[in-house]
Amino acid sequence: MPSTVETPPLLEVSGLTKTYGSFKAVDDLSFTVFPGDVFGFLGQNGAGKSTTIRMLLTLIRPNAGQIRVFGMDLQQHRREVLSRVGAVIEKPDLYGYLTGQENLSLFARMSGKGITKDRIQETLELVGLQKRAGDRVKTYSQGMKQRLGIACALVHDPDLIILDEPTNGLDPQGIADIRNLVLSLSREQGKTFLISSHLLAEVELMANRMIIIDRGKKIVEGSVRELVDPQDRELHLEAEDDGFAVACIEKTRWADQLMRDQLPQVVLRMANAEIPALVDALVAEGVRIQALRPVNRLEAYFLSLTHA
Partner 1 sequence: MINLIRLELFKIFRKPRTYIAFGAVAGIIWLIQLGFWADGESYINFGMAALSETFDVQGRVLNGYLLAYIILQTLLVHVPLLIALVSGDMISGEANMGTLRLLASRPVSRTQIILSKFLASFVYTMALLVWMAVWTLFFSLFIFGADDMIIMKSEVVTQISAADAAWRYVAAFGFAALAMVTVSALAFLLSIFAENSIGPIMATMSIIILFTILNSLNLPIYQEIKPYLFTTHMLGWKGFFDVAVNASNEQIPGSVENLPAVMRSAGMLLLHVILFLGASLYVFKRKDILS
Return residues touching partner 1 (CB under 8 A). 54, 57-61, 78-83, 85, 87, 89-91, 93-98, 102, 106-107, 109-112, 152
Q: Inter-axis angle of helices 100-109 and 117-126, to 10 degrees?
A: 120
Q: How far is the CB of 156 from partner 1 (least distance, A)?
A: 9
Q: Which is nearer to partner 1, 67 or 81 (CB)?
A: 81
**Helix (H) or strand (E) segment spanning residue 237:** strand 233-239
Q: Cβ(263)–Cβ(246) under 8 Å?
A: yes
Query: Pairing state of beta strands 192-197 and 38-42?
Result: parallel
Q: Cβ(100)–Cβ(137) under 8 Å?
A: yes
Q: How far is the CB of 97 from partner 1 (least distance, A)?
A: 6
CA 143 – CA 148 distance, rounded (Å): 9
CA 61 – CA 83 distance, rounded (Å): 19
Q: How far is the CB of 151 from partner 1 (least distance, A)?
A: 12
Peptide bond into 35 cis (omega under 30): no
Q: Which is nearer to partner 1, 25 or 249 (CB)?
A: 25
Residue-wise DSSP of 11-40: EEEEEEEEEETTEEEEEEEEEEE-TT-EEE
CA 246 – CA 279 distance, rounded (Å): 13
CA 190 – CA 174 distance, rounded (Å): 23
Q: How far is the CB of 73 from partner 1 (least distance, A)?
A: 15
Q: How far is the CB of 16 from partner 1 (least distance, A)?
A: 14
> Helices H, strands E: what count in the chain?
11, 13
Q: Which is nearer to partner 1, 59 or 271 (CB)?
A: 59
Q: How far is the CB of 18 from partner 1 (least distance, A)?
A: 9
Q: Which is nearer to partner 1, 169 or 274 (CB)?
A: 169
Q: Which is nearer to partner 1, 97 or 303 (CB)?
A: 97
Q: Which is nearer to partner 1, 85 or 210 (CB)?
A: 85
Q: Which is nearer to partner 1, 73 or 93 (CB)?
A: 93
CA 119 – CA 269 distance, rounded (Å): 51
Q: How far is the CB of 114 from partner 1 (least distance, A)?
A: 11
State how far the alpha carbon of 57 is from the alpha carbons of 35, 60, 75, 178, 295, in Å: 18, 8, 10, 22, 37
Query: Pairing state of beta strands 160-164 and 85-88?
Result: parallel
Q: What are phi and psi of 295, to 5 degrees?
A: -110, 120
Residue type, 287: V
Q: Which is nearer to partner 1, 144 or 227 (CB)?
A: 144
Q: How far is the CB of 260 from partner 1 (least distance, A)?
A: 49
Q: How far is the CB of 241 from partner 1 (least distance, A)?
A: 57
DSSP state, residue 257: G
Q: Which is nearer to partner 1, 30 or 58 (CB)?
A: 58
